[in-house]
Amino acid sequence: MLDLETFIFVCYNLRPSDLLSLVCVCKTFKSILDENINPLAEEIWRNSRIKFTTFRDMEPPSGMNQHTFTRLLTFEKGCQFCKTKEKALTIYWIPGVRSCRDCMFPRVSHILGSTFKIDNEVLGLILPVTPSIDLPESKHTHYWIDHVKNVIAFLMNADDNMRRALNNLRKDVGNKYKETKNYEKWMFNLRQFYLRGQDDHFSRLHAEINRETLFKMQEDYEYKKLKTEIQCNPFLVQDWQQYKSRILQIAQRIDRNLTSTTFPPTLVSSKNKIVDKITQKRIKIVKRLRKLTYGSKRTSQCQIISIFDVLYVYLPICPSFVNPPDLEEYSQEFFIRKLLPTLKREAEQLCASRTTPPPYFLEMDGALKVGGLRDQLVFECRLCNTLDPSNIKKIRAHIKDVHELDENLNNVLFATKFYNFNNKVIAQC
The CA distance from 24 to 43, in Å, is 19
What are the residue ranges of helices labelled H in 209-330?
Answer: 211-217, 221-231, 240-257, 271-292, 311-314, 319-322
3-state class (DSSP) for residue 293: strand
For the chain, which residues make up each domain, given as ranges?
1-73, 198-260, 271-352, 364-428
Mean pLDDT (whole number) for 415-423: 40
Whether residue 115 has pLDDT greater than 60: no
More confident residue, 158 or 96: 96
How many other CB atoms are there within 10 angstroms of residue 140's CB atom? 13
Contact 309, 344 (CB under 8 A): yes
Phi-psi region of 96 (alpha: psi -120 to 50; beta: other; left: phi over 0): left
Confidence of residue 333 (pLDDT cuts 50, 70, 90): confident
Beta bridge partners of 99: 90
Mean pLDDT (whole number) for 330-357: 81
pLDDT at 365: 63
Contact 282, 324 (CB under 8 A): yes
User: How far, in Å, are 184, 217, 251, 337, 357 from residue 223 at the CA level?
Assistant: 31, 6, 9, 18, 30
Confidence of residue 211 (pLDDT cuts 50, 70, 90): confident
The CA distance from 251 to 248, in Å, is 5
Confidence of residue 412 (pLDDT cuts 50, 70, 90): very low
Most confidently predicted of 148-162, 265-279, 329-343, 370-384: 329-343
3-state class (DSSP) for residue 305: strand
Whether residue 1 has pLDDT greater than 60: no
Name the pTM for this structure: 0.54
The CA distance from 99 to 192, in Å, is 19
Confidence of residue 133 (pLDDT cuts 50, 70, 90): low
How many residues make up the chain in this entry?
A: 429
The CA distance from 417 to 429, in Å, is 7
More confident residue, 135 or 200: 200
pLDDT at 413: 44
pLDDT at 168: 65
Q: What is the pLDDT of residues 136-174, one digit of tens each?
A: 445 667 888 887 787 777 777 766 666 666 666 666 777
Q: What is the DSSP code string of 149-193? A: HHHHHHHHH--HHHHHHHHTHHHHHHHHHHHHHHHHHHHHHHHHH
Mean pLDDT (whole number) for 203-209: 82
Dihedral angle of Cα 91, 97, 102, 107, to the nearest 10 degrees = -130
Residues sharing a CB contact under 8 Å with residue 122, sequence separation 6 or more, in sequence order: 151, 152, 155
Where is average pLDDT lowest: 134-138, 186-190, 254-258, 389-393?
134-138
Contact 313, 275 (CB under 8 A): no
Whether residue 364 has pLDDT greater than 50: yes
Alpha-carbon 121 to chain mean position: 38
Q: What is the DSSP code string of 189-205? A: HHHHHHHHHHHHHHHHH
Beta bridge partners of 416: 379
Mean pLDDT (whole number) for 349-353: 77
172 exposure class (CB count in 10 Å sphere: 0-12, 13-18, 19+): exposed
The helix or strand, by DSSP H or E, that contains position 428, with its residue range, turns out to be strand 425-428
Beta bridge partners of 143: 109, 128
Whether residue 406 has pLDDT greater than 70: no
